[in-house]
Structure 1
Amino acid sequence: MEPPRRKASFLASMKAVFWSFFGVRKRRDYEDDAVNLNPVQVIVAALLGVAILIGVLLFLVKMAVSQ
């Protein structure tokens, strides 16, 4: 038997990573993610999310220090 095909989009992976940063996820959504999300897409989405978070934090610190 073949493993089940992953059918979620990259946007769905980004959404799951976004909610995981806050630690807020319904059990049903978590189970759906475990079945549908592609692990490679989740890793790429997490790295992209971390880069965006660091960029926003650096911008906020720069704005706070400059004033």
Structure 2
Amino acid sequence: MKITLEIDSEKASAFLNFIRSLDFIKIKVQEDFEEPTKEEILQSIEAGLKEVKDHLEGKIKLKEARTFLDEL
């Protein structure tokens, strides 16, 4: 099965890192795909850490990994 996804550039690197960890997914890079810059990667990590901090402080509720995967 082939699935095409369009992902915001801010979240693309985090999403790619996640799916690369799954052994049943193969990634084919398209010509229009641009690897994220170091700044974009750091911004993505910073945003993710802020989400975790907000979750731990009870400001937001995060989805469980199983819920996220079920939505795919």
- TM-score, scaled relative to structure 2: 0.41
Higher RCO, 1 vs 2 (CA within 8 Å, ≥6 residues apart) = 1
Would you tell me which structure has more helix in proportion to its own residues?
A: 1
Greater radius of gyration (CA)? 1
- TM-score, scaled relative to structure 1: 0.43
